[in-house]
Amino acid sequence: MNGCPFAGNLYNFNKLSLEDEKDDKSQEGINKASKGGLVYGDYLQLNKILNAQELQSEKKGNKIHDEHLFIVTHQAYELWFKQILWEMDSVRVIFQNGHVRDERNMLKVITRMNRISMILKLLVEQFSVLETMTALDFFDFRYYLSPASGFQSLQFRLLENKIGVPQSLRVPYNRRHYRDNFKGQDYELLLKSEQEPTLLQLVEAWLERTPGLDAEGFDFWGQFEVNVLKGLEEEFALVQAKPESEEKDDLLSEFQKQKEALLSLFDEKRHEHLLSKGERRLSYKALKGALMIYFYREEPRFQVPFQLLTSLMDIDVLMTKWRYNHVCMVHRMIGSKAGTGGSSGYHYLRSTVSDRYKVFVDLFNLSTFLVPRHWIPKMNPTIHKFLYMAEYCDSSYFSSDDSD
């Protein structure tokens, strides 16, 4: 028996008959490109992009194969950084111009923030492509790169600034301010980005306008504090009613920790102190707004804001993963050697993988203040109705070129 499954007439791969060709809908298109005009390669400027890989090793007369991969991967990173900045700037403009007050624009904001997250996921995974190159492969051409360094990526520094990495918390680069490593127009662009409203500041101002925070209205914060105090008293009574035992001692210890954490939430002076130390990022009022959105996220008007807060945390997580993957790759490739730009290499990069570079750290900490659902204040009819209605401007707004 012939082992080939295609032997004989089991499968018929005969050419379509002329009659079949006439009825083939897949061939009914028109080749518009044959008539001239813009074509794919010109539209994407592929001649520039595909000829931008200049191997330093080849210029020095010692062409190293893997340098091409190194260049292409980093060029891809920079293109994606450009797209992230494009999306980030558009979101910042929506907030800055007050267009976010029209809640129909929140979908646009969420879409673009989610797009940034998807790009960052791709960039985190992209390290695996570089890691197909061994340390020895990299060593073959690393000498030719100096003093070029990834730290000199202007777009990544702009991204950090525009998101809201605090200047006071940046790790010094060789005991100098990070901006001192840039000159001319690059230096000016970085300085400008530090002076513009950051995404963190814009989100903070937006959170401070959360409906229901005002004392003369729903007064979420006042009611929440009353409920927390009452709930803590009830929990303490339950623990105290238990017979003396080691378990009771453990429960009392846990209760005390929970009490201290929850009561610290209502200490505005403590919040301001932590803010001055860089351990908090949002204003006290913005933190209240974020927690209110967190608790009432199922209400129609808070569903999209909750998605935004979630997407901001996603971006922070992915940026941290990107830094971590970068650290691991550098450690694998050069060990504890100095970086090509003169930094301490792995040791410097490792110091950047911490909460000091996490912009929306306050949103992560909201989980510290979760309480039983019955402690959350019940909404009065006015605020309940309000959270069922979206706020929007005149529809003619959407015909404006300023919508972006």
Quick one: pLDDT at residue 395?
A: 38
User: For the whole model, what pTM was predicted?
Assistant: 0.86
Q: Which residue has the tokens 């339950």?
A: 238
pLDDT value for 267: 96
- As a whole number of angstroms, the distance between CA 301 and CA 178 comes to 41
Tokens of 88: 């980030």
Q: Which of 356, 215, 388, 207 is nearest to 287 (CA)?
A: 207
- pLDDT in the model for residue 396: 32
Which tens digit of pLDDT belongs to each residue from 325-368?
999 988 898 887 766 666 767 778 888 888 889 999 999 999 99
At 338 the pLDDT is 67
Q: How far apart are CA 335 and CA 338, in angstroms?
A: 9
Q: What is the pLDDT along the chain (404 residues), one digit of tens a residue?
A: 566 665 655 556 555 555 566 678 887 778 887 787 899 999 999 999 999 999 999 999 999 999 999 999 999 999 999 999 999 999 999 999 887 777 778 989 999 999 999 999 999 999 999 999 999 999 999 989 988 888 889 999 999 999 999 988 888 877 788 898 899 999 999 999 999 999 999 999 999 999 888 877 788 999 999 999 999 999 999 999 999 999 999 999 999 999 999 999 999 999 999 999 989 999 999 999 999 999 999 888 889 999 999 999 999 999 999 999 999 988 898 887 766 666 767 778 888 888 889 999 999 999 999 999 999 999 877 777 777 665 554 333 333 444 45
The 3-state DSSP class for residue 173 equals strand
For residue 28, the model assigns a pLDDT of 78
Q: Using one digit for the tens of pLDDT, what is the confidence trace for 259-300?
A: 999 999 999 999 999 999 989 999 999 999 999 999 999 888
CB 379 within 8 A of CB 213: no
What's residue 397's pLDDT?
Answer: 33
End-to-end CA distance of the chain: 69
Q: How far apart are CA 34 and CA 32, in angstroms?
A: 5
| Residue whose entry in the numeric block shows the structure tokens 């090509």 | 340
Question: How far apart, in whole angstroms, are the C-alpha atoms of residue 300 and residue 298?
Answer: 6
- Share in percent of the chain as helix, strand, coil (round to 5): 65, 0, 35
- DSSP H or E stretch at residue 285: helix 284-295
